[in-house]
Amino acid sequence: MAYEMLNEADDVIGQLKANIAQFKQNIKQSEAYPLLKSDSAIQCIVFNSNEGAKQAALTLQNAGLDVRAILSPTVPLGTERLRICLHSYNSTDELNLLTTTINNLIHA
């Protein structure tokens, strides 16, 4: 059934790809907080500490965004990160809020 639905999902797939591109275009790169290389819907920004990742996730959650911290020991010490899952149904306003909030966090 999934394969049958996939044939009809061109619009949804196209919107997801557009959302990924918008996120990557709007996020400001930072050597201190690198965006891991990914062309998938899952994007990660490394915060290098459990506390930094938790604080960043809390800031985003307080802005109304559902972004989670991935902490050590789930990932190696020093590679703690935010895990961002983009969806086809994310609006331009949501993506702008997400990238603006992250940019303010990592370039403060």
Task: Please tell me the pTM assigned to this model.
Answer: 0.90
Range of the domain at 88: 2-106
Asked which of 10-14, 39-43, 54-58 is least confident by mean pLDDT, the reply is 10-14
- Segment 21-30 shows an average pLDDT of 96
Q: What is the CATH number of the domain that holds 41?
A: 3.90.1150.10
**Number of compact structural domains in the chain:** 1
Who has greater pLDDT, 93 or 8?
Answer: 93
Q: Which residues neighbour 39 within 8 Å (Cβ) at sequence distance 6 or greater?
A: 20
Q: Amino acid letter at 43?
A: Q
pLDDT tens-place string over residues 56-94? 999 999 999 999 999 999 999 999 999 999 999 999 999
pLDDT for 79 equals 97
